[in-house]
Amino acid sequence: MLSGVTGASGIPTPMALPEEPVQTVEQKKEVERLIEEIDVEAYVKEYFKDTPILAEISRCESHFRQEGKNGLTLRGMKDRDDLGAMQINQRYHGEQAKALGLDLHTLDGNLAYAKALYEKEGAYPWMASSACWSKVNELAMR
């Protein structure tokens, strides 16, 4: 017990410790989610340091998120078969990813498949979001 002010009896009274701010369960989950997002962004940027256009594509496609607020793999808003940080379409690429031993529902599997797809087809699979990432790519080439 921390002693502080002495009471009328001469016995030290406990010092009041500052209370932690009260957080709801929802607030704590939101903080954890934000920390995870920051970690995913840093991880994606490091993973694609040799192909930074893929990091920009991830920024545009998923805002560097592998999971949604529900804790499940992030799915596309227009096409629910688009998965994860790179929004890889499982309908078109699921079997090939599986054949390569990659799980599109994991961050590592999603990024590894994106890198393989980029090496084979360039940025073409992500042309739907090119208005977002192509400007950054053009500036980098100047």
DSSP 71-107: SSBPB-SS-TTEETTTTEEHHHHHHHHHHTT--TTSH
pLDDT for residue 29: 73
- 130 belongs to a structural domain: yes
Total domains present in the chain: 1
- Confidence label for 3 from pLDDT (cuts 50, 70 and 90): very low
- 5 belongs to a structural domain: no
- 9 belongs to a structural domain: no
Question: Pick the residue with more confidence: 114 or 39?
Answer: 114
- 85 belongs to a structural domain: yes
Question: Pick the residue with more confidence: 51 or 28?
Answer: 51
**Short-list 57, 67, 54, CA closest to 106:** 67
- 52 belongs to a structural domain: yes
- 94 belongs to a structural domain: yes
90 pLDDT more than 70: yes
Rounded Cα–Cα distance for residues 1 and 62 (Å): 50
- pLDDT above 70 covers what percent of the chain? 74
The mean pLDDT value for 22-36 works out to 71
- 18 belongs to a structural domain: no
- 6 belongs to a structural domain: no
- Range of 60's domain? 25-136
